[in-house]
Amino acid sequence: MASILVTGGAGFLGSHLCERLLADGHGVVCVDNFYTSDRHNVAHLLDHPGFELLRHDITQPLFVEVDQVYNLACPASPVHYQRDPVMTVRTNVLGTINMLGLARRTNARILQASTSEVYGDPEVHPQPEGYWGRVNPIGPRSCYDEGKRCAETLFFDYHRQHGLDIKVARIFNTYGPRMQRDDGRVVSNFICQALEGAPLTLYGDGEQTRSFCYVDDMVEALVRLMDSESGFTGPCNLGNPEQVTVRELAERVLALTGSDSEIVHRPMPKDDPLQRRPVIDLARERLGWEPHVRLGEGLARTVEFFRAS
């Protein structure tokens, strides 16, 4: 079995990935600086003989011997990545360079957790991998959007220049247990507001669309992409093509929680995309993957997590 490095491994998605890799029999080195993550996400893994947790910021060099690298390290919600935008860019650029250097030194396969935000506020809908995007390079979201675009550039330059074995995943909205209460993402916002009896904040008219993928489905996709045939680099869209309006999401959360919270409207944030939906034909063809957890089922599990916590 492989020795696998997961950067950002104590985060929402990273902790679920670490759990899955250990269950598959691999050794896991989990690296995190705990800027937006929580040690409690991986506390149940600390006694596992195949698990090692390192507090480390990937903007600094890291020297470990591994067979695979999942590079997930980066604040992923607007609230967090806009808190220190320069740090967000440093993580996406310097951190990515450090992880690519580590992979080159150890001859490891490396996967980049990129994002649907590389498409910006798209003029093409739904978004296929061949679409180059519409991104504001100087806006409040650009530290993340352009940072992730630069990370993809670095991955493909290392692949062309050094023959590095790379995989690039473009991850669309993902949700589930272990999301942070204060991350500003729409699913966690609505659920926490509903459970607390607070108004649900809806930006704009609520007709903007999103596509939500449950975390277990996303982890399966990442593992399949990492283990896919050599030469298939991506980028590969990973997400749920089922599309809902943000208003519909709010109404579903109210129904699931039994909350009588009202819905209040706020102005749309700058550069917030109006439409987001992946074309996943490539994932279906090359990975044999598509999501299976329906939104209602996934939301119910997520509500129970927040209710218990």
How far is 113 from 20, CA to CA, in rounded Å?
A: 16
pLDDT at 271: 65
End-to-end CA gap in the chain: 35
- The reply to whether the predicted model has a pTM over 0.85 is yes
Confidence of residue 218 (pLDDT cuts 50, 70, 90): very high
Alpha carbons 268 and 122: distance in angstroms, whole number: 16
| Among 119, 144, 158, 214, the one annotated catalytic | 144
Phi and psi, residue 51, nearest 5° = -115, 135
Tell me phi and psi for residue 158, to 5 degrees: -65, -35
144 part of the active site: yes
> Residues 219-260: pLDDT tens digits?
999 999 999 999 999 999 999 999 999 999 999 999 999 999
Tokens of 71: 């590079």
Give the span between the Cα atoms of 92 and 117, in whole angstroms.
13
Tokens (6 digits) for 160:
């062309």
CATH 3.40.50.300 fits 3-175+214-241+276-293, yes or no: no
- pLDDT tens per residue across span 50-73: 999 999 999 999 999 999 999 999
